[in-house]
Amino acid sequence: MDSDFPNKALTATRFSELNPPLSEPVLKALSESGFEFCTPVQAATIPLLCSFRDVAVDAATGSGKTLAFVVPLVEILRRSSSHSKPHQVLGIIISPTRELSSQIYHVAQPFISTLSNMTSVLLVGGVEVKADMKKIEEEGANILIGTPGRLYDIMDRMDVLDFKSLEILILDEADRLLDMGFQKQITSIICRLPKLRRTGIFSATQTEAVEELSKAGLRNPVRVEVRAEAKPSTDAVSSQQLASSKTPSGLHIEYIECEADKKPSQLIDILIKNRSKKIIIYFMTCACVDYWGVALTRLSVLKGFSLIPLHGKMKQTVREKALASFTSLSNGILLCTDVAARGLDIPGVDCVVQYDPPQDPNVFIHRVGRTARLGKEGHAIVFLLPKEESYVEFLRIRRVPLQERRCSDDGSDVVPQIREAAKKDRDVMEKGLRAFVSYVRAYKEHHCSYIFRWKELEIGKLAMGYGLLQLPSMPEVKHHSLSTEGFVPVEDINLEDIKYRDKYREKQRKKNLQAKKEAKEKQAKTQKPSKNPIAAATRKKTAKQRRAQQTVEDEDELMREYRLLKKLKKGTIDESEYAKLTGTEELL
Ligand code: ADP
Ligand code: MG
């Protein structure tokens, strides 16, 4: 346990004093894990679920919600454990990401193992579904813990599973599970479950909407809301505000307002000043994580720093390794997307940097909640462009108080160094371009589009901030005359000449270029001297017709995709590049 005991995040209520009382084996498992006193959310929730009430729980990040559902789930199932059959599913816990499901599975094991005769399975994507099916077939499954996609897949494929006796369903990070992205899968799962059961939904950003609750199938739920306590007012923010803060009381959140071209230098300054700290940096898209994960390692000032990228488009084994190594580090940097925003309980995170604010403002609370867990202190910094400043007021109204952090004058401009790295390695150059394009596209999808005004994005400064060598010609820029001010192209270079540092890749590229050249020459020889005027006219006409059908808003999107498609046909880009450049499911 912590040395700062009694921990201010705990109540004076012991687990052994709860009513209805917990079973001996669970109490033993709790004390063996070092848990003696309940957190407020545990003291409030465990007795309710154990006495057959449905709950909708809204409590800050790091307040101990996992045990608040794992303990009652195990207690409820203890009553049926003696007569359960191997393929009778009695409990289900659903969470939005593979990493979180795996974490819950591991937290639950010591408690589940107190039940005789019960098996639990972890069901997440990224591994062969057949392997999961075989395991369930052979070993049985009484408790399912997993992500919606894989869970539903298994329910759909395996008739052998019997859900008629299901006792309890838990949705962790429920607001995320019930939003658009997962709604269909969750509804399909819930439809197959008996109505007479306990249901618990948990989050740090529960929506107040009643329909959300009914979507989850809650019956007269008790709403449990636990807020961070007031901390003594030491600054301009009144204690009144902090008393009901949506974020933990030990968390100090700052915003740094700086132009897009200054962001990398400010980030490096923060990283250097926090060299011995454990830091998470959130970016907007997978491509951004891929890029900065490479670009930052090429900077001499960051030599010796552990930089670990993590996003949802990585192979599952790589994802697992990344999280495991960051977890084990005492200091280091995780570069990630929102795949690591919710629920993850990584020990000892000192600081959370949001290089890009999230599209969904609720995610802000989850990201910063990776630090200052269970009564500890923590620090978070969010980067805002000057035009995004009203986000501060927006968050304050949502009970997330932020303080200003001034831009630092220390350190030099790192953009030239990043550009140097791009010149030396085509991989850096291409990843930068991809990241930039993905960022602009993702920016369009900000939920608070009146704060994050896409049409006011200053593309020039942004491209400088990505260390791009030349400004890519994007339809966005042309059609909406986004400002290109502040961009200074690198003149003395032809992008075609930039080589991959990786010798094999470079050889491959040279080969492809040569093949393309030859094909072109061949085509030029066989092509008729004059173009067919009729075909050209038809092409023009269909293009016109297509344009007429489009709304002004999505026209540029389609134009871009059309151009990329042409490139794909010509062979200037390959299919995976095409998918990357047009992909919209980039965020996790
Ligand atoms: P939440 O889901 O609310 O974000 P978690 O359930 O992940 O929070 O718990 C946060 C941390 O607090 C975990 O490291 C967990 O082990 C620890 N914890 C939870 N309950 C207790 C308790 N009663 N006593 C001590 N530590 C606890
Ligand atoms: Mg949690």
CA distance 453 to 388: 8
Q: pLDDT tens across 204-213, in order?
A: 998 767 677 7
Predicted confidence (pLDDT) at residue 57 exceeds the cutoff of 90: yes
Average pLDDT, the chain: 89
CA distance 113 to 256: 48
Cα(220) to centroid(ligand 2), Å: 23
CA 155, chain centre distance (Å): 26
Q: What local confidence, expressed as pLDDT, does residue 433 receive?
A: 96
**Ligand 1, atom 14, residue with closest C-alpha:** 345
Give distance in angstroms: CA of 173 to centre of ligand 2. 7
Residue 421: how many other CB atoms lie within 10 Å: 21
Whole-number Å distance, alpha carbon 57 to ligand 1 midpoint, is: 15
Please tell me if the CB atom of residue 100 comes closer than 6 angstroms to any atom of ligand 1: no
Give yes or no for residue 104 CB within 6 A of ligand 1.
no
Q: Is the CB of 368 under 6 A from ligand 1?
A: no
Centre of ligand 1 from the C-alpha of residue 292, in Å: 32
How much is the average pLDDT of 414-419? 97
The string of pLDDT tens digits covering residues 383-396 is: 999 999 999 999 99
| pLDDT for res 548 | 40
What is the distance in A from the centroid of ligand 1 to the CA of 63? 6
If pLDDT is split at 50, 70 and 90, which confidence band does 561 have? low
Nearest CA to ligand 1 atom 25: 35
Q: Whose CA is nearest to atom 9 of ligand 1?
A: 64
The more confidently predicted of residues 575 and 8 is: 8
Q: Which of 140-144, 522-526, 565-569 ranks highest by mean pLDDT?
A: 140-144
Closest by Cα among 232, 234, 106, 118 to 168: 118
Of the two residues 145 and 580, the one the predictor is more confident about is 145
Looking at residues 85-98, what average pLDDT do you find? 97
Alpha carbon nearest to ligand 1 atom 4, residue: 62
pLDDT (mean) for 338-344:
97
DSSP 328-348: H-SSEEEEE-GGGTSS---TT
373 lines ligand 1 (CB under 6 A): yes
Give the confidence band of 497 by pLDDT, cuts at 50, 70, 90.
very high
Lowest mean pLDDT among 42-51, 401-410, 455-464, 551-560: 551-560
- Indicate which ligand has the atom closest to the C-alpha of 61: 1
pLDDT for 223 beyond 70? yes
Q: Is the predicted pLDDT of residue 556 greater than 50, yes or no?
A: no
Distance CA 559, CA 543 (A): 10
pLDDT tier for residue 319 given thresholds of 50, 70 and 90: very high
Amino acid 529: pLDDT = 57
Any residues with CB less than 8 A from the CB of 516 and at least 6 apart, and which?
571, 572
> Is pLDDT of 202 > 70?
yes
The answer to whether the CB of 345 is under 6 A from ligand 1 is: yes
Q: Residue 8 — pLDDT band, cuts 50, 70, 90?
A: confident
156: CA distance to ligand 2 center in Å? 27
Evaluate: CB of 248 within 6 angstroms of ligand 1: no
Residue 538 confidence class, pLDDT cut points 50, 70, 90: very low
Question: Phi/psi class of residue 168: alpha, beta or left (left: φ > 0; alpha: ψ in -120 to 50)?
Answer: beta
Of residues 358 and 81, more confidently modeled: 358
Name the pLDDT band for 528 (thresholds 50, 70, 90). Answer: low
**In 444-532, which residue ranges form alpha helices assigned H by DSSP?**
459-465, 475-480, 503-526
- Tell me the mean pLDDT in the region 81-110: 95
Whether 358 shows a pLDDT value over 50: the answer reads: yes
Ligand 2: centre distance to CA 300 (Å): 38
**What are the residues whose beta carbon lies below 5 Å from ligand 2 (ion)?**
65, 343
What is the structure's pLDDT at 6? 65
Residue 25: closest CA among 78, 80, 97? 78
Write out pLDDT tens, residues 150-160.
999 999 999 99
The closest-lying atom of ligand 1 relative to the alpha carbon of residue 60 is: 3
Mean pLDDT over 60-73 rounds to: 97
| pLDDT category of residue 69 using cuts at 50, 70 and 90 | very high
| Parallel, antiparallel or unpaired: strands 168-172 and 198-203 | parallel
pLDDT of residue 280: 98
Q: How far, in Å, from the CA of 408 to the mean position of ligand 1?
A: 36
Mutate to test the pocket of ligand 1, among 67, 172, 225, 226 (most ligand atoms within 8 A of CB): 67
CA 488 to ligand 1 centroid distance, Å:
50
Nearest Cα neighbor of 144 from 69, 191, 87 is: 87
Average pLDDT over residues 187-203: 95
Cα 237 to averaged position of ligand 2 atoms, centre (Å): 28
Residue nearest to atom 17 of ligand 1 (CA): 64
Interval 478-495 mean pLDDT: 89
Where does the pLDDT of residue 418 fall: very low under 50, low under 70, confident under 90, or very high at 90 and above?
Answer: very high
Q: Look at residue 571 in the predicted model and tell me its pLDDT.
A: 66
pLDDT tens across 360-377, in order? 999 999 999 999 999 999
pLDDT at 558 over 50: no
Indicate whether residue 374 lines ligand 1 (CB < 6 A): yes
Atom of ligand 1 at shortest range from CA of 172:
2
pLDDT at residue 61 greater than cutoff 60? yes
Evaluate: CB of 366 within 6 angstroms of ligand 1: no
